[in-house]
Structures are given as C-alpha cells and as structure tokens.
C-alpha cells in the first residue's frame, strides 16, 4: 500500500487543418478575412516623397479661394498624381527593375569574384612584404638617420637675449 509512481507518455494527435499555429482566434471559414496591405517601404526610404496636397499648395489665412475651388483643386491634384504615378510605374517599373537587377548583379559578381579575392590576396602577402620592407629600411634608411643624428647632435642652439 505504498505510493505508486507511474510514467506514462501522453500525446495528442491532431490534423494540420485543425491545429492553429497562430495566436489569432480561429475564424469561421465562411467569412473572408482581408489582411492589411503590406508596407512596401518598411525602411522608410522614400519618406521625402510622401507629398500631400497641403505640402504643395497652401493658402495663407489672409487670402482664401472659394471652398469649392479648394476642394476641386485638391481632388484634381490627387487624381492626376494617382493616374500619372500608375501610368509611369506601369511603363517604367519592369524595365527599370530589369536594368537595376542587371547592374546590381554585375556589381555583386565583380565584388565577389574580383575585388574580394584581390584584397584577400594582398592581405596574405602583406606580412611577407612587411618583412622585406623592414629589412630594406634597416639597410638603407636607418644608417642615414643614425649618421644624421650623430652629425646633428653636436649642434647647440642658444637664444640671445636683448
């Protein structure tokens, strides 16, 4: 009649469809869930291009146009900006992406296969060059400085007082 200790392995078997890995509650499959648009500029690279109507056109307090003119010009500004951006991005996005991809690909290839091996090769040769350079300077330059030091050591500088 002692305490009995049992070890048992428990496991729950669930299908992948039933198991919800996210922290969001399980929603009914009937309702559609619309996700927010992804941020296409997460690093805020083009913060200076976030231009609104009020940033471009502003009326001082002392002079105002009619309200309908202000609303119409605001609508025209936003519409033209939207249409021209869409039009120009449609015409230029794919060719510019191709061109920039080509340029960055070539630059990456040059950097990986030419620049870095050259730098690493120079860094490997540097200790040998340093030994040769030190021996050359010890042979030719050091005796000059020692003899110049001996010659200049006998010079005495005195200041004359008036």
Q: What is the pTM of this model?
A: 0.45
**C-beta separation of 39 from 55 below 8 A:** no
pLDDT in tens, 97-152: 999 999 999 999 999 999 999 999 888 888 888 888 888 888 888 887 777 777 77
Question: Residue 69, Cα to own-chain centre: how many angstroms?
Answer: 43
């Amino acid at each position: 009649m002692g305490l009995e200790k049992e070890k048992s392995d428990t496991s729950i078997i669930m299908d992948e469809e039933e198991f919800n890995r996210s922290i969001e509650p399980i929603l009914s499959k009937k309702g559609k869930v619309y996700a927010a648009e992804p941020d296409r500029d997460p690093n805020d690279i083009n913060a200076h291009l976030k231009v609104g109507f009020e940033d471009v056109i502003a009326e001082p307090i002392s002079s105002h146009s009619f309200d309908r003119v202000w609303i119409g010009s605001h609508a025209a500004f936003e519409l033209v900006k939207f249409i021209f951006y869409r039009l120009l991005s449609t015409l230029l996005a794919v060719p510019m992406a191709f061109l920039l991809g080509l340029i960055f690909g070539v630059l990456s290839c040059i950097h990986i296969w030419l620049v870095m091996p050259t730098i690493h090769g120079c860094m490997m040769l540097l200790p040998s060059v340093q030994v040769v350079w030190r021996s050359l300077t010890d042979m030719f330059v050091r005796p000059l400085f020692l003899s110049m030091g001996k010659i200049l050591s006998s010079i005495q500088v005195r200041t004359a007082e008036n």
